[in-house]
Structure 1
C-alpha cells in the first residue's frame, strides 16, 4: 500500500509555530530557509507576541536594569546603554546620545533611563533627558505603559508625574494620586497595571505594612488595598493571577496571594534594596 503524505498548508504551519517558545523557534530556523525567513517577518513576530500575551506566558527575571518593552530590556552603566533580548540572547550597545541636557540642571539628575516603542515608526527609543524637571530616584517597576514612559519627578515646588510620548517625543505632566499622606511618610512607585498607569503606595516606616494600588484611567481611582502585612518591606511586582512579589524584612523574595493572604517564601535572597524583578513575555524581535 503506497505511503500517504499529508501536506500542511503554510499558513496553518506558521500558526502552529507561532505558539512555540522562542528557544524552539531558534532551533527550527535551521530546518529550512522559508521558516528562517518567516520567523523574522513583523507579522510573525507580532503574532507570536500576541499568542504569548493571550496565554499569559510570563517569565521572571531578577534585574539591575530598566524596562522591559515588548520583551526587550535596557541595560545601563553610567553613560553606557545597551538593548538586550533575554529570549534570543541578542545584545546591542547603543551609540552615545546626541540629546543635549538643559544647562540649568545638573547632569547627575538624569539617572533614570526609559525604554519605549514608537508604534508609528516601528522602532524602539531610549529617553535619557528630561527638560524642566528632575527625575526622582530610579524606577522600581517597569514604567513603560502603552506608548508612554513615566517618571516620578520634582518640579519647582511640588512632586508630579512626568510622561514621555514615544511617538510624538513630547513631555507632559500628571498629578500624583491624592492618597491622604505625604511623600515624607509614604513611598509611591509607578507601574504598568493591565495596560494602565498604576501607582502603589506604602508606608516608609513601621513593621505593619499596607499597600494601596491606584490606577489612572482619566482620573486616579484606588483599585484595592492590602492591609496589615507583617515581615515585609516593599513590593516588587505582580504575578499572573494578581499575586504580589514582596521583599521581606530578611530580604528574601516572597509571594503574597491576596485571596488567601498566604505569604510564600521563594528561597531567593538579595542584598538590601537591590532586589528587583520583572515579568516579561518572550519575543522574537531582532535588535542586531
Structure 2
C-alpha cells in the first residue's frame, strides 16, 4: 500500500503580514518572539502604516478618560481605559498611573492623538506617549535662550500653548510651544515699565531637537476639550489687536496663518463657549451656553466659509461637551461631575458611572499604532495599570 505523504502549505509572506496587520498591538508584541522576520517586519514603516490604517478603516478605536479625583484640579491626573466592545457599555478596563508622574507639578494637558501618539504637557515638561506599545519619551528641555534684550535679573519665563502635529512629507512628529518672556524695570523699588516678548519653539522627534521659529505676534489660547489638529494644520482660538481670530500652524511648511471665527448675532464670548474641534476631517466649532444645566449645542464646520451643520437642543443636567463617538453620540460632563453619553437619535442620556473633580475630564479616542518613539518602555515598578476588580471608578 502506498503511504500518503503530508504536505504543508505555506502562505505568501505578504498575505501573512496582511493578516497580522489586523491584530491588536498586544498580540503583535507577543508574536515578536515567533521568528526574527516577524519581529523585524513589525518595525518597518510599511507595516506600521498598514496596521494603523487597518484600525482606522475598521473604526477600531480605544478610549481613555483623563481625570482627577482629588479636591482640586492640581491633584494627580490619571487615565482610565474604557471598554469599547459592543455591549460592555464603556466599563472600566484599567486605571493607568503614568510612569513619569514624578515630573508632575501642574495640571496635565493632553494633545492628540497623532497616529496613536499622545502629547502630554505638565509645567515645563512635555512627553510623547504611545499607550498601545507603552513607550514614552520625555522631551529634552529647549536650549533656546531668551532674547538678549530681556534682562535676566528682572524677568520671568512662562510656557504658553502647545500644539502637536505630524509632518507627512518627512514622517516626523512635531511639538510647537509658545514661550513668554516677561520683564519689568524698577526705579527706587517702583515698577516703571513692564513688557513681554513671545518666542515660539518647535521640536522635531526625528531630530530630537528644538529650534526657534518666527513669532506670529498673536496670543493663542489653551484648548482643553477637543483635538484641533486637522489635515496637517494645528488650530488655536487666538487674540490679536483687532479682536479674536483663529491661528493655524502648517506642520509641513512650518508657517502660521489666520482664519476668522464664526460670526454670531450675539457675542458668544460673553454668554457662550466656543470650542474648536476636528469634525470628520474638517475644522469645526461647537458653541454652547456658559450658564445653566439645560444646554443646546450648535456644530459648525469651515469649508471655505463657516456653515452650521446641526444643533442638539435642550440636553438637561449637563455642563460641557467632551467629544463625539462613533455613531454621533456625544460624551458630556454632567452637572454632577459624572461622565454621561447622549444619543441624539433617541435623546437618551446615559450615566457611565465615572466621576472626576469638576472640569478635569477629557475623553481621548485613538486607534492603536506601532509608531516608535525611541524612548523608554513602561516597567511594572514604574506604572500602575489596575484592571477591573480593583478600587471603584
Instruction: Output one character per residue of 1:267-287: Cα deviation in whole Å (capped at 9) or x when no partner.
Output: 000110111111111111000
Check 1:209–1:92 CA distance in 2 against 1; reply closer, same or farther (3 A cut).
same
Number of residue equivalences: 287
| Runs of 4 or more above 3 Å deviation | 98-104
Q: How many Å apart are 1:137 and its aligned residue? A: 3.1
What residue number does 1:74 align with?
119
Instruction: Output one character per residue of 1:139-160: Cα deviation in whole Å (capped at 9) or x when no partner.
Output: 3111111101111111113111
**Does residue 123 of the first structure (1) align with residue 168 of the second (2)?**
no
Q: How many Å apart are 1:107 and its aligned residue? A: 4.8
Q: In 2, are the aligned partners of 1:112 and 1:139 still within 8 Å (CA)?
A: no
Q: In 2, are the aligned partners of 1:162 and 1:172 still within 8 Å (CA)?
A: yes
Q: In 2, are the aligned partners of 1:199 and 1:215 still within 8 Å (CA)?
A: yes
* Unmatched 5+ stretches in structure 1: none
Instruction: Output one character per residue of 1:102-152: Cα deviation in whole Å (capped at 9) or x when no partner.
Output: 889x854x4321110001111000010253111223331111111011111
Q: In 2, are the aligned partners of 1:237 and 1:244 still within 8 Å (CA)?
A: yes
Q: How many Å apart are 1:68 and its aligned residue? A: 1.5
What residue number does 2:239 align with?
154
SS at match of 2:27: helix
**Cα distance in 1, alignment partners of residues 21 and 222 from structure 2:** 39
**Does residue 135 of the first structure (1) align with residue 220 of the second (2)?**
yes
Greater Cα radius of gyration, structure 1 or 2: 2
**Does residue 6 of the first structure (1) align with residue 9 of the second (2)?**
yes
Check 1:218–1:204 CA distance in 2 against 1; reply closer, same or farther (3 A cut).
same
Q: In 2, are the aligned partners of 1:67 and 1:114 still within 8 Å (CA)?
A: no
Instruction: Output one character per residue of 1:224-263: Cα deviation in whole Å (capped at 9) or x when no partner.
Output: 1001111001000011111100000001000011111100
What residue number does 2:190 align with?
none
Q: How many Å apart are 1:179 and its aligned residue? A: 3.4
What residue number does 1:186 align with?
272
Check 1:187–1:258 CA distance in 2 against 1; reply closer, same or farther (3 A cut).
same
Alignment of 1:20-35 (within 5 A): 20-35=23-38
Q: How many Å apart are 1:70 and its aligned residue? A: 1.2
What residue number does 2:321 align with?
235
| TM superposition score normalised by structure 1 | 0.95
**Cα distance in 2, alignment partners of residues 98 and 221 from structure 1:** 43
Higher strand share: 2
| TM superposition score normalised by structure 2 | 0.70
Q: In 2, are the aligned partners of 1:139 and 1:190 still within 8 Å (CA)?
A: no
